[in-house]
Structure formats: C-alpha cells, structure tokens
Chain A
Amino acid sequence: MPFTLERRPAPSPVARLAAPLLAVAMTLAGGSVLFAALGHAPLAALHAFLIAPLGDLYGLGELCSKAAPIMLCATGVAIGFRAGVWNIGAEGQLILGAIASGVVALQFGASGSPLVLPAMFLAGALGGMAWAAIPAILKVRFNASEILVTLMLTYVAGLFLSALVYGPLRSPTGFNWPESSAFAAAARLPRLVPGTRLNIGFPIALVVAAAAWFFVARTHLAFRMQVGALAPRAARYAGFSRSRAIWAAMLIGGATAGLAGTIEIAGTIGKLREVVSPGYGYAAIIVAFIGRLHPVGIVLGSLLMALLYLGGENAKVALGIPAAATGIFQGLLLFSLLVSDSLVSWRVRWRSPAPSAREVADRG
C-alpha cells in the first residue's frame, strides 16, 4: 500500500471533534453513490430521507416518538458495551417487554384502573430483564458468547410474539388479523402535543438517559464494571466480580429495552401485533457507538436514527424505495464513524518510494 498508519503520540483533539462530522459527510456521499448505482436519483433520495420528514409539527412529533425506544435501548446497550458485555439482542428484549406489558394491558381490559400503566411499565422491564437473564447465565456459567446467544434469542422472541398474536392473544373481533384487541384508554400513554402522536414516552426516555449518566459517572458499580472491561487483570486483583458485572450489564440492558417495548405498544401502536419494532434494538447498537457510549451523544444519535427511520418510511411512499433501505444509511454511518475514529488515534503517513538515510536512522 502507498501509505501506512502511525499511532499518534496523543489522540488528536481536532480529529476527535471532526470525526463525527466527517462520518456524516462520508455517509451522505456513500449513500448517494449507492442510490445512484441502483438507479435512484441521489438528491431526491437524500431529500426524501433527511429533509422532507421534518417539514411540519406532526413530523417532529413522529421524530421524537421514534427516538424514544431507540434511546432507551441504546442507553442500556451502551452500559453493557462500557462493561465489555456485547448485548446485541436489545431487539429481542424489547419484544419480550412488549409482550409482558401487552399481556398486562389485555388482562386489565376496560377496567380503567389507574394502576394499569405502572403495572405495564413494571411488566415490560421485568420481561426484558428475564430475556436478558438467559444470555447472562449462559455467559457466567458456561462462557457461551453473549453476541450469538442474544441474537438467537431475538429470533426466538419474534417467533414467540408471532405465536401469541396468531394464537391466544388474537383479537376475537379483528377479522383474523394477527393482532390483539386494542388496549383500553387507561393503558395508553398520554399525548403531549395536540396534532401529533408525541406521548410521554419521549420524556421518560430522556429521564432514563439522565439516570444512566448518573449511574455511569457517579456509582461504584459502574466503575467496577468498566474496569472489568478496560483492565481485566486489575479488576480481578481489586476483587471486582466479573460475573456480577455481566449480570448487571445484561439486566440493565434488558430492563431499558423492555421499557422501550412498553412505550412502543402503549404509546405508538396501542395493541400487540406480529411486528412491534422495525429494528430499534439493532439501531440502538449504532446509536451507542455514534453517541460514544455517552448519554448526551446517545440522545442526539437516537434523534438522527429516528430521522433515518422516518425518512425510510417517507422514501417508501415518495420514491418506492423499500423502507428497509434505511439500513444502508445506518450501516454506512457506523462504518464511516469507525473509519474517521481511526484518524483520531492514528495518522496517515504516505510511503516515499525509498526511505532516506535519515528516516532509517530515526527508526533505528
């Protein structure tokens, strides 16, 4: 290769600030090239994805509604990543949270009890934690890769939800659609802004992100979890339990993802159906990275990711591009960030055809 990478003596502060901007620019450029190559006008696609969705108040409400579950999942996933625990099954934990709180909502029925929403939140968190406990115990007891186990369990969770809405939870009056009865009004999250679907799920997600900041910055448990990831030997010497760190990371991730499931069905959807998330749990992984595992970054990253989802839906209607094409921007964004991040701690040095005597002497 004509160039090589050298480690910088210290990470470059300029590059650290410029990296996210460079990543966004690379994503836009790469996305345009891909859309053009596949026969879609790149500018029209970018406009449909990134600008058109934000044209009115309703669009802004949708943006925040979509950001909420992503933010919740990303908050939990990021705490796991900080502890070196690769929980990439937030999607499955979200689905279990949705199932658990959906069952609670349907059990309460039309009673209108004020307890139904708190019970749903509790059930959602517990459902997500229960699903996350499986990879935790398999990792702690048998050292099974949490990456593969959480992923496999996501497929199982989707099939479980499908079995429920085709079977016991199917609405008797729903014309045989695979979905449950609609939840009663008492089981729906209150809306915040008239004319939009924005509900209290978004402020709840912000509060959880703030709580996560407090947990990471101010508690000893979070400190021990991070040491376990960054310096395993030091952690062992200090007597920090690795098993406990894995359990804590998985259960926190499960709880936040489960809450995301509750918010999605109690806020936006209002019933259980075969698909309750278009991949928010996977998007959360990207958000955790582009947010640099920091709550403020995660809040901003979630809004960006929500914009891409909204843009995907808009592009489907406006241009006939499949909504799943959102993944192109998501994947490119993470790739671009990884590439531009490497410029923070490495610098490019172009190779001269033959090293001068002085260079050789310097190296020696």
Chain B
Amino acid sequence: MADLAVAILLATLAAGTPLVLAALGELVTERTGVLNLGVEGMMLVGAATGFAAAAETHSMLAAAVAGSLAGAALAALFAFVTLVCRASQVASGLALTILGIGLSALIGAGYTGVALPADIGALPAWLGTVPGLGPVLATIEPFTALSISLAVGVWWFLARTRSGLIVRAVGDAPHSAVAAGYRVGAIRCAAVLFGGAMAGLAGVYLSVIYTPVWVENMTAGRGWIAIALVVFASWSPLRVLAGAYLFGGITILQFHLQGAGLGLPTQVFSMLPYLATIAVLVVVSSAAVRTRLKAPASLGGPLGGER
C-alpha cells in the first residue's frame, strides 16, 4: 500500500514536471510585462528538436540543449515582432503557437515510431556517489529535481536579488525603469528568451523522458495549462510548484480512473485536466482584485520602455 502511494506520488511529480518548467519560463516572461501565448508552440518545437537530437546522438545533454535552443529561437522571433516591431502580443503569441505546431510536425516527421535507448535519461554514475544528492536522484527523476531547484532558484532570484528587483520593476513600472537607466527592451528580450528555453526544455522532457516517443501535437494543451498556472500561482514561483503538482495529480488520477472503468468512456476522464484548468481560472479570477494586484502592472501592454 505504501509502495502504491509512493508510486502515485512519483507519477504525480513526473506529470507535473513539464508544467513546472514551462510555467516558470512564462512566469519570468510575464514578470517583465510581456505576455507570450506561444508556450504550446515553443514546447512542441522543443519536444520535436529534443527528440531528434536524442535519436541522433543518444545523448540526453544534447537533447536538452537542442530543445532549449529551439524554444529560445522561436521566442527570439516573438521578441523581435513584439518588442522591436511593437506588434500585438496576443496576436503574435497565437501566431507562434500555430507556427510551432507546423514546424514541430516537419522537424519530427522522420522520427515517428523511432525508439530511444532505454537508458537515455540515466545520469553519469559519479552523480550517484555525491553525498546527499545521490539518494535523492535515485528516487525522483533528475528532471523533476532540476525543475524544483529551478523553481526555488527563480523565487530566490526574483525575491532576493538586485537583478530580480530590476526584472520586477521592468514589469511593474517600465517608465520608471527607463528613467532609472535600465534597458527595458533588453531585459524583456532576455526574459522572453528564458521563457522560450524553459518551454523547449519542458518539451524535451515530454518527448524524451516522459512519453518517450514523438507524436504530432503531443503536448496536448500543456502549454496553455502552463499559462493558466501562472495566473493560478499569482506570479509566485513556489506556488507554480503547488499548481503543477495539482495538475499532475489530476492527470494521474485520470489514468487510475480509466483503469477502474466506472462504465464511462475514457475520453470523459481525459477531459479532466482541461475542465480543472477552467475551474481553477474561475476560482482565481473571481478573486479579481487580489489577482490584479499581484499581476505585473504593464502585462501585455505596449512597450513603454526603450525609446
């Protein structure tokens, strides 16, 4: 029984991990005042590129680097269109998602049905001998450990460092940040690139470790759920963890309910994460005043900075 509980807990952490990674990236992006709705597209391109790299090199590191770079490359396009050309962020984000769906299909075309080596996610042996770290990594997946450390790191960066303060200032008061001599455009661009790399990494985890196969459109809305999670977490990195594992739990619950049967079609259970996202949005948004106070003040608006 205890074993089952542990298994469910670990499965929940694994299912939540891509959401943690993608949502953290989007959170930092939004904290500088930029709303990038292209997470789903960047995740997909990261997943396809990472899978292709893993299949060609059999190296997890190469897959992670390739996937993150691919996500960041798409994000660079978004940054150019919204920050330099000052186009609508909502429209550009949608364009990015549509582009990403098509591009990932083309990149992944030769890799449907390809199998990866079973030990691709295995860590170098010396990591297991590090005191303290070894036992942890023997239990939870390295990517999950990485995502939790990143959440703590992002929290520490935003809340405790001078650079983090500047990032928050850019999002909350871009004009003041310009007046104080900060390069708002460059800081926003860096945040958008970070968001893209994180979304790409989330995609790599999905296609190389979690599934591990390449299927067109395999993210199945996780990019959008990650955007909703940022609102749910009211732009706090540690609350992103809580939200992501809530959704991870719902995903796992859905599998177990499907197994249990209950006489309902499996599709009804597959709807659960999407319905839960809507429910969460309703609950969070109806506390509108509190949510709006926490939201970066210049979010989604035209660029006030770099002139």
Contact = CB atoms under 8 A, between A and B. Distances in A.
Interface of A: 1, 4-5, 34-35, 38, 86, 88, 138, 141-145, 147-149, 151-153, 155-156, 159-160, 162-163, 166-167, 282, 285-286, 289, 320-322, 324-332, 334-335, 338-339, 341-342, 346
Contacts of B221: 151-152, 155
Residue with the greatest number of chain A CB neighbours at <10 A, chosen from B90, B92, B99: B99
Contacts of A5: 84-86
A4 B80 CA distance: 13
A141 B267 CA distance: 29
Interface in B265-289: 265-268, 270-271, 274-275, 277-278, 281-282, 285-286, 288
A335 to B, nearest CB: 5
Contact of B278 (A138, A159, A320): A138
Contacts of B267: 159-160, 162-163, 166
21 contacts: A1-B84, A5-B86, A35-B106, A142-B285, A148-B277, A148-B278, A148-B281, A152-B224, A152-B228, A159-B267, A166-B265, A322-B106, A322-B216, A325-B103, A325-B106, A330-B98, A330-B102, A334-B94, A338-B87, A338-B91, A339-B80
Contacts of A144: 278, 281-282, 285-286
Contacts of A328: 99, 102-103, 106
A325 B224 contact: no
B34 interface: no
A321 B107 CA distance: 10
A327 B101 contact: yes
B109 A322 contact: yes
Given A166-B265, A331-B96, A147 B90 contact: yes
Contacts of A346: 85-86
Interface in B81-133: 81, 84-88, 90-92, 94-103, 105-107, 109
B282 A138 contact: yes
Contact of B85 (A285, A330, A338): A338
Contact of B216 (A38, A145, A151, A324): A324
A321 B224 contact: no
B64 interface: no
A163 B285 contact: no
Given A142-B285, A155-B220, A339-B87, A38 B81 contact: no
Contacts of B278: 138, 144, 148-149, 152-153
Interface in B285-307: 285-286, 288, 307
Interface in B48-95: 77, 80-81, 84-88, 90-92, 94-95
Nearest to A35: B106
Given A34-B106, A163-B268, A327 B87 contact: no
B98 A327 contact: yes
Contact of A338 (B95, B185, B217, B285): B95
A7 to B, nearest CB: 9
Contacts of B87: 338-339, 341-342
A143 B96 contact: no
Residue with the greatest number of chain B CB neighbours at <10 A, chosen from A141, A144, A167: A144
A338 B96 contact: no
A200 to B, nearest CB: 30
A363 to B, nearest CB: 11
A170 B102 CA distance: 31
A333 to B, nearest CB: 8
Contact of B37 (A147, A162, A335, A338): A147
B231 interface: yes
B105 A325 contact: yes
